[in-house]
Amino acid sequence: MGHKIKLIIITLLLALSMSGCTAAVLIPPLSGPLFVPSTASSAYQIYKVSTDERDLQTIIEDEYIESRIHASILDDSELELLELSPYSYNGHIYVVGKYDDKKDFGRISRIVRNSGKVNSLTTYLYPEKENPACNEAEDMILETRVKAALMENRNTRSINIAVKAVQCNVVLLGRVQSPRDIDAVTRVAVHVEGAKSVKSFIRPTNRHRYRLKQRKVAFSK
């Protein structure tokens, strides 16, 4: 999809958010999922779309897969309390969070396999602890600090990536224009107070094209 069409749709979403409308927006003539979820009408979601390196169709397909995986995780009594966060970039799935039993990896794999177009699966999970040194509230604070630091830095404020903190370990995910952007984001994150470590799953867009062909699910633990 051309950049001009993307800007038109972003403008439409902005107008809806300013008017307080939360209805889904129909976007013809895209194939696959045809609706942008109502949450995309928020200003933050519009900003994310406008700075995302993926084309709009890919964003819609990725978010559709994410929502299916997340819903399936919440429906699984063994996984729903583990604070698992799924991310999809060009059909490459990342699941970040905690695990209670090694069987959880198999449960995640089955959920992802049934979620739609999937090119690969990467799981990055920390073992669940009864009395962790860093709790969920501290993780949320750390995520906010990292996002704020990225927004304040002139070299990273226009880069759209996801930030997840697990037991005060920072995980970065997304697609950017070049390896230089990856280095810039990582340098900012490692200097944020409270970050024990930083793991980056950020990839340059020119190395990852969306593939419709189903691929064998792979694991990285």
pTM of the full structure: 0.73
According to the model, what pLDDT value does residue 87 have?
Answer: 96
E strands present in the chain: 25-26, 35-36, 85-89, 92-99, 120-127, 161-166, 169-176, 197-204
Residue 161, number of CB atoms within 10 A of its CB: 25
User: Does 35 have pLDDT greater than 90?
Assistant: no
Output the CA–CA distances (angstroms, integers) from residue 203 to 68, 173, 191, 211, in the order listed: 23, 8, 21, 16
Cβ-proximal residues to 135 (8 Å cutoff; 6+ apart), any chain: none
According to the model, what pLDDT value does residue 10 have?
Answer: 52
| Domain parsing of the chain, residue ranges | 3-51, 60-130, 136-206
Residue 12: name the closest of 52, 28, 89 by CA. 28
DSSP state, 2?
-
Mean pLDDT computed over 19-35:
41
Class of domain 136-206: alpha beta
Residue 38 pLDDT class (50, 70, 90 cuts): very low
Q: Do domains 60-130 and 136-206 have the same CATH topology?
A: yes
Q: Are 28 and 34 in contact (CB under 8 A)?
A: yes
Q: Are 207 and 110 in contact (CB under 8 A)?
A: no
How confident is the model over 116-135, as pLDDT tens digits?
889 999 999 999 987 788 99
- Selected from 2.60.40, 1.10.287, 3.30.1340, 1.10.3470, the CATH number assigned to the domain covering 60-130 reads 3.30.1340
Amino acid in the structure at residue 42: S
How confident is the model over 195-220, as pLDDT tens digits?
999 999 999 886 544 443 334 443 33
Q: Are 204 and 179 in contact (CB under 8 A)?
A: yes
